[in-house]
Amino acid sequence: MEKKINIAIDGFSSCGKSTLAKDLAKALAYIYIDSGAMYRAVTLFFLQNSIDFNNSDQVEDALEKILLEIKHTESGFRMILNGMDVTEQIVRIEVSQSVSEVAAISAVRKKLVEIQQKLGEQKGVVMDGRDIGTVVFPHAEVKIFVTANVEIRAQRRYDELERRGMPARIETVKENLKHRDHIDSTRADSPLTQASDALLLDNSYMSREEQLFVAKKIVEEKLR
């Protein structure tokens, strides 16, 4: 039987880690899991139900009412929240503005990390996020930390929103990214940081094909 491993891809917002993770999973015939989409789905539920992020009782009660499912279809990864496909809703700017704050809540992280770790038990998973290599899969055979400069990340995010018919000012997008970078890097519970055994991949001036080529080489070395 072909050896299968888990691959952890971490990095800042809009650095291209999800694109890389999807492409790598497809190339390897692995399962792709977007951990960020799970945090976004929880954030969407909190916003829809006017949950006070600072009220632990409200947060705990809300988490009890959330059922998350992941579906892989011909069109790609789909995020299901309580039976509803919310894949498009979770990328809206209002969710982006709150997701880092929600992701910093320990109760939220505890619930989602447990789900994510269970998904990786059978190996053959490529998961992207901010604490995959440090917390979710600390023993992942391959860890890649993706980065890119903030100007390029802002343009990528702006272009994505335009494609989805959700126009926004690029300055607003850039400020949102800087704000999320700060929260993600300084939160008390599982801050965004490069795992000591993760390889750094700066894709600021790489094409989609070039970053996939680099990542595949890393995996091939590990599978030898």
DSSP per-residue string spanning 41-106: HHHHHHHHTT--TT-HHHHHHHHHT--EEEEEETTEEEEEETTEE-TTGGGSHHHHHHHHHHHT-H
Report phi then psi at 2, rounded to 5: -65, 135
Can you tell me the mean pLDDT for 38-43? 98
Record the pTM.
Answer: 0.89
Q: Are 144 and 199 in contact (CB under 8 A)?
A: yes
Q: Quick one: pLDDT at residue 28?
A: 95
Q: What percent of the chain has pLDDT over 90?
A: 88
Helix, strand, coil in percent for the chain, rounding step 5: 50, 15, 30
Q: How far apart are CA 68 and CA 90, in angstroms?
A: 13
Amino acid at residue number 30: Y
Q: Say whether pLDDT at 215 is over 70.
A: yes
Q: Quick one: pLDDT at residue 93?
A: 87
Angle at alpha carbon of residue 146, lines to 144 and 149, rounded to 5°: 165
Q: Quick one: pLDDT at residue 83?
A: 97
Q: Quick one: pLDDT at residue 177?
A: 94
Q: Say whether pLDDT at 1 is over 80.
A: no
> Which residues in 66-214 belong to E strands, given as ranges?
68-73, 76-81, 84-85, 125-129, 142-147, 199-202
Mean pLDDT of the chain: 94
Q: Quick one: pLDDT at residue 112?
A: 97
CATH of 6-223, one of 3.40.50.300, 3.40.50.1370, 1.10.3720.10, 3.40.640.10: 3.40.50.300
Nearest to residue 43, comparing CAs of 83, 81, 84, 85?
Answer: 81
| pLDDT confidence tier of residue 65, bands split at 50, 70 and 90 | very high
Q: Quick one: pLDDT at residue 25?
A: 95
Report phi then psi at 138, rounded to 5: -65, -20
Q: How far apart are CA 29 and CA 125, in angstroms?
A: 9
Q: Say whether pLDDT at 16 is over 80.
A: yes
For residue 31, CA distances in Å to 34, 60, 148 come to 10, 30, 25
pLDDT (tens digit per residue) in 126-174:
999 999 999 999 999 999 999 999 999 999 999 999 998 988 899 999 9
Can you tell me the mean pLDDT for 79-106? 95
Q: Say whether pLDDT at 67 is over 80.
A: yes
Can you tell me the mean pLDDT for 75-100? 93
